[in-house]
Amino acid sequence: MKFKVDENLPVELASELRLRGHDSDTVDDEGLCGAPDSGVVSRARSENRIIITLDKGIADIFRFPIATHAGIVLFRPGSLGRKAVLAFIRERLSSLLEHNLADRITVVTADRIRFR
């Protein structure tokens, strides 16, 4: 799979995805830090990349219907501290990557993974 890691997530996540065999870059790699959500979504779509984010705005199905992106994964950890977010994602990453994440919105919470 191809991923774009949003600026609100630790950049180490892109490296971890690469180690697992996935093509991954970051919003920062693309010079998109501070860009509007629409710009990030558009770039990811043009590269056929699934966006990984903490941003509920990007995962808003009314703002960004399924046809406007290649897929979005929204992580909803209980804490927003950098270490806590990274630990939350690491605990769920293997399970998450077993699913088809393309062309849908995936929401990852402490107790489940759900799809829209």
Q: Tens place of pLDDT for every residue, the chain, 116 residues?
A: 999 999 999 999 999 999 999 999 999 988 888 889 899 999 999 999 999 999 999 999 999 999 899 999 999 998 878 899 999 999 999 999 999 999 999 999 999 999 98
For the chain, the domain total comes to 1
CATH number of the domain where residue 54 is located: 3.40.50
Give CA angle at 76 (73, 77), nearest 5°.
130
Separation of CA 70 from chain center? 11
Q: Which domain holds residue 37?
A: 2-115
Enter the pTM of the model. Answer: 0.93
Q: What is the DSSP letter of 68?
A: G
Longest dimension (CA), the chain: 34
